[in-house]
Structure 1
Amino acid sequence: MLGWGNGSAEHEPSYRRPPGPSLVELVVLSARHDIFYGLLPEMARRHGDVVNMPVPLLGWTMTLLSHPDHVDHVMTRHHGRYVRHHLTNELVVGEPDVMPVLEGQEWRRWRQSLNPFFTENSLARLSESMAEAVAAGMDDWRRHLDSDRWIDLELELGTVVMDALMRSMFSTVLNRDTLGRYVEAARDLGSYTISRALMSTFPTLLPRPFQRRGEAAQATLLGELDKVIEQRLSDGPRASLDLLDVLMGMAFDGTPDQRYRRLRTELSSLIFAGFETTAQSAAWTVALLQGNPAALAKANAEVDALGGVQLRYAHLEQLPYLRACFDEALRMQASPGLIRTADEDDEIGGYWIPKDSHVLLSPYGLHHDPRFWTRPERYEPERFLIGKINRNAYIPFNIGPRKCMGWRLAYIDGLMTLAAILQRYTVELRPGWSPKPKIRISTGLVGGLPIRLARR
């Protein structure tokens, strides 16, 4: 604690305000740049690591933080001084106050309850279900062979990832049509929740993009989850607990109806988070590898050395280069932003951060900053094999106590899927297409990933 307000001169805040753009500069640059993938990095280049950014339409002042030390300050060393921003609530589907937006002791209690599901032994067991889903997905993709039609691999990867999530977390095997409904609903929901968060502070009379589709997607996802829960209640206890069993055994507060809705919301949040992150990251990896023949050749050779076996958890440690390819794609993809609210007065980089003000971290800006990455705009997986990475400049799954619980699950699913693609298929990108970031919960690809498949 800084102990401000105790009358001691040495502990008084400096009240030094961060530099920042004029309103005119902000408006001009906002017209030229995408906010998250262009404007924020440009603000850091022009004004430094701590930037005061007015948000005039909302009456806010946002402090953009663009140095790994500041990430460490907010997310790790002094994480207790910062709480979730109210916009985070708009990203939740269903009931409020689910684990992703909880704070303090209640958040710690729920996190500790789920920790056993993400141990090494548990992950090894879950990976068997993931391997089955990946194999089934690769078999299904044979229907795209010998066709001149361009397909959206981002969508196809979403189906494989959704199948892996449903099998591993909920011991549920869905048919292709049902998986398709899940994926379509999750994608629509991603667009809707981002739009809802960005529009939540504007007058309610203004139109909400994606609202109708988003609400329909929410109803679809929750309705499908009703069937999964009802089936589990009908089947009775299982010999080996999965995540659905763990959540159904939790002591949610409220009436039976409130407890059921809370359970359903927790499930949908886990599915949504796992699906978004892994599917988008795998799509980015495929796209970037196709644009880098040398890296693709190395990844192919590493996978070929396994001899065409069906991939299992034990094989992943034999794929260090493919993991580096995934790491590097996560760096270049990066999430749009992390926003927190100061719960008390603070000081960062010599600048005053007043209580109730908002701080914004830009993973994309950090991941593309030449101070921390050599040739940041080039796809170079080797950097994760030969160099020391500044862990606070690389935050694809957040960092500190709030780091995503399922990050290792995402690596298992992502690497198994990528290796299986390399084993069985070659990918042809549509001529003229190149990867460009699209804002979603986890950064997607503008226009999807248009490709054609052929047998290897």
Structure 2
Amino acid sequence: MLQLLQKPAPILEERGPDWFAPARPRPHDKRLPPLDLILAAKRNLISLWHVNDYRPTHGDMRLFGRQVFLANSPETVKYVMATRHDNYERKSPQMRRALENLLGDGLFISDGETWRRRRPLVSDIVHKNRVPAFGLTMEAVTLSFVERWRARPAGEPFNALTEMAELTAEIISRAVFGNELGARAAHDVVDAFTRYQGLIDNFNIGYFLGANEGLPVFRGPRLRRSVAQLDRVIDKVVTDHLEGRGEHDSMLDLLVKRQQKSPDLGLDVSALRNEAATIFMAGHETTAGVLTWAWYLISNAPWVEEAVLAELDRVCGSRTPTVDDVAQLDWCRSVIEETLRLYPPVPILARQAKDADTIAGIDIDPAALVVVVPWLLHRSEGLWDQPERFRPERFLTDRPTPYTYIPFAIGPRICAGLAFGLTEAILCFAILIQQFRIRVLPGTKVEPVSRLTLRPAGGLPVTAERRV
């Protein structure tokens, strides 16, 4: 049992237990039969679960003959993601097939020798020691969005998900490629990836019918248009950089220099493009989702907003927060970490077993689907105090017990951009909340839906009222 809260924050002692319970799909009282499970998965991957899954547990089932093992306890998570990482390093056929059109053999979906060769390279480029250098970009882009929001007519609603995606797309473009993406291109990326997620099938039926590699995604006209729209933006900025129109010391510039020093890395133009696309897509989409969910949560928890504003006043006074302030912004960090607990960007981490194994006394077939579910683990009774409540202060005093909190995955395949993404989310959140009072439009029904990533269905309509 985690003792997540040793001492309540003073501002919350006066409020009492008026905690906000965020939106989630209602757990099922009965296990879904296979056909119903497939239909539910096609719509929303977090709508599958039984009420008993929201506690530390593990077990298996068969779906059309394919074994599916749920690892939903700290012990089984550790075994799958760390102890026997070698046997469970490969992403599920569904994830690989869903993203191969966009990322090729990029790090997020690669494995084996390709992953082992490129992981240290990419990890070094986005290492936490480099984050301060990217911090100035984060500040500059976010401040440009402050001006953009100030120019809006008072009370005009807008989609927070779209705005956050365009914000993070511009940040990651300047960091990865060293040149500005621009509002039009940022909008094209966000629009295309939103449509792409809506078109991708959450359930690769071929895998469950016996094809260990799954079946290729059907590339209909709408899917091809979405991919082409994304490719145009990403390929242009990669080409611009390779032709000398990018800045030195961008992430892509570092990749090029590493390849020049070590040709055996095999980073040809195609591989450079795939790794750049992986950093770009993962870097903008996940942080955009976290920030969007943070605005939803803060909009419903004014007592937390008061604590955040008091901290910003104490640390920054009237000046704008900078990357150098992030280490002192404990409340801002805790809000982001609690948001990641309740709404992890990738709520299901599915792996394909390489060889036969045994987990917690259950025999695992070769090519079985082994599923670790942050969505369930982060809301498990017995691991968290009041798991369904928004309580950022739980992160102020204690760190979670290992393998109970995995918003960036865990083990050797933990997200290489963890430090970059976390710093970016905290800094963008701090700058924007200092300037604006953001509220979800009254009457909005917020529904979390997971296809490739976890988003509010239809976006999040909000208003932003200037504080100054």
Q: TM-score of the superposition, structure 2-length normalised?
A: 0.83
Alignment-mate amino acid for residue 182 of structure 1: V
1:53 to 61, 75, 92: 61
- Per-residue CA distance 1:249-278 (angstroms, 9 max, x = gap): 455999xxx933332222222111111110
- Per-residue CA distance 1:356-389 (angstroms, 9 max, x = gap): 2221111101011111111111000011113341
Distance 1:292 1:244 in 2: 40
With CA pairs under 8 Å and 6+ residues apart, which has the higher RCO, 1 or 2?
Answer: 2
Cα distance change, pair 150–209 in 1 and its aligned pair in 2 (3 A): farther
Residue 118 of structure 2 aligns with which residue?
Answer: 110
Distance 2:112 2:145 in 1: 40
Distance 1:250 1:197 in 2: 38
Residue 327 of structure 2 aligns with which residue?
Answer: 317
Cα distance change, pair 175–25 in 1 and its aligned pair in 2 (3 A): closer
Residue 48 of structure 2 aligns with which residue?
Answer: 39
Are the counterparts in 2 of residues 191 and 214 from structure 1 also a CA contact under 8 Å?
A: no
- Per-residue CA distance 1:315-359 (angstroms, 9 max, x = gap): 101210111010001111123311112222222122211222221
* Matching of residue 225 in structure 1 with residue 234 in structure 2: yes
* Matching of residue 172 in structure 1 with residue 179 in structure 2: yes
Residue 255 of structure 2 aligns with which residue?
Answer: 247
| Residues paired across the two proteins, number | 427
Residue 135 of structure 1 aligns with which residue?
Answer: 143
Are the counterparts in 1 of residues 164 and 291 from structure 2 also a CA contact under 8 Å?
A: yes
Alignment of 1:79-118 (within 5 A): 79-84=85-90, 85-90=92-97, 91-94=99-102, 96-118=104-126
Distance 2:306 2:161 in 1: 22
Alignment of 1:380-391 (within 5 A): 380-391=391-402
* Matching of residue 414 in structure 1 with residue 425 in structure 2: yes
Cα distance change, pair 207–61 in 1 and its aligned pair in 2 (3 A): closer
Distance 1:284 1:24 in 2: 28
2:279 to 270, 293, 304: 270
Distance 1:376 1:24 in 2: 24
Q: 3-state DSSP class of the match of 1:40? A: coil
Distance 2:304 2:195 in 1: 33
- Per-residue CA distance 1:137-180 (angstroms, 9 max, x = gap): 11111232314x42111111111111111112211113222221
Are the counterparts in 1 of residues 54 and 380 from structure 2 also a CA contact under 8 Å?
A: no
Cα distance change, pair 432–391 in 1 and its aligned pair in 2 (3 A): farther
Cα distance change, pair 304–200 in 1 and its aligned pair in 2 (3 A): farther
**Any stretches of 5+ residues in structure 2 without a counterpart?**
1-28, 210-214
Q: How far off its partner does 1:82 sit?
A: 1.5
Distance 1:102 1:117 in 2: 18
Distance 1:100 1:234 in 2: 26
Are the counterparts in 1 of residues 54 and 377 from structure 2 also a CA contact under 8 Å?
A: no
Residue 127 of structure 2 aligns with which residue?
Answer: 119
1:77 to 80, 83, 105: 83
**Any stretches of 5+ residues in structure 1 without a counterpart?**
1-20
Distance 2:324 2:189 in 1: 30
Percent identity over the alignment? 26
Q: 3-state DSSP class of the match of 2:438? A: strand
Residue 378 of structure 2 aligns with which residue?
Answer: 367
Cα distance change, pair 235–341 in 1 and its aligned pair in 2 (3 A): closer
1:212 to 216, 221, 228: 221
- Per-residue CA distance 1:281-315 (angstroms, 9 max, x = gap): 01001100111111111112112331232332111
Distance 2:403 2:77 in 1: 6
Distance 1:122 1:387 in 2: 27
